[in-house]
Amino acid sequence: MAVTDPVVTDHTALPHAPLREARVPADGMYEGRRTLRRLPEGWQERPYELIDVVPQGPLIGAEIRGVDLARLAPALREELNRALLEWKVLFFRGAAITAEQQRAFALNWGELETNPLLARGSADDVVRFDKGGSATPTYENVWHADVTFRERPALGAVLQLREARRTAVTPVADMAAAYDNLPDSVKERIEGARAVHDFIPGFARFYGPERLAPLQDLFPPVTHPVVRTHPETGRRTLFVNTSFTTHIVGMERAESDRLLGFLVRQAHVPEYQVRFHWQAGDVAFWDNRATQHYAVDDYAPHRRVAERVAIAGDRPY
């Protein structure tokens, strides 16, 4: 039996009905190839000599092995700092350090902040998150960078999970990637723009005026660049968040709300994220200048206890 070639029809030559109009919501998130650039342009990547770095994804997040956080020589501190700049968030499995050791580790990067809005741990600069049961409902399950309502927001934070009956999950997003992938038209709109940050929106849903009003003079509203420059890597990072950014200076409220809504949604893109699954005793150290994070509220009614120390930062520019 003879085999014949299939008939190929040139559909471009056939008449067809016009394609119906289809609109998608303005300022939406669209599919397509995304630029995932882990390192700054021109950055010279070198092997690590004192630590084992296990990437948790192609863009952000690395587990660090072979380190005793209670003993940090200067050369080891420098190598960990390079890893932090290159991976934005570092994870230390089963570190199980004391609160004082946690403080000592963080002090290698600068002085520690106190935060009167949060529960105190074993020292004034240790924050204790004791969640579940009858505790205050969580206020971390939204994408945010820490304390951007300060004139000098935190450089970073070191958090240890002390107690958990169920595995905890924290996604962390790379806000340099979020900026890189903005449409050029949006980059032009926010070039040089500044936004107001205030602690009240992030806490007023959980605390009454009697708790917040006395702190208003301590934490007045501040303005920061919508896009900040990382002081060590030079990367440009998107620096607005749902918890504390209230409006963009010089814009009408409706325009500001619409643009901020689009900008804060950039952290939601999975390609920009790493998801860390915690066990008690694990430690995470994130660069607050380069990332946002989201504490997943999936543990009720079980108790979850964590302690955090935050390292004072610089004025964003």
Mind telling me the catalytic residues? 144, 146, 293, 308
Q: Are 104 and 280 in contact (CB under 8 A)?
A: no
Chain Cα centroid distance, residue 242: 11
CA within 13 Å, CB half, 71: 4
The tokens for 289 are 């200048």
* DSSP-assigned letters across all residues of 235-282: -EEE---TTTEEEETTS-HHHHHHHHHHHHGGGG-GGGEEEEEE-TT-
Q: Are 53 and 84 in contact (CB under 8 A)?
A: no
The tokens for 269 are 């893109």
CA angle 11, 15, 17 (to 5 degrees): 110
Q: Are 124 and 287 in contact (CB under 8 A)?
A: no
Strand duo 283-287 + 194-197: pairing? unpaired
Which among 199, 229, 197, 224 is positioned nearest to 214, based on CA atoms? 199
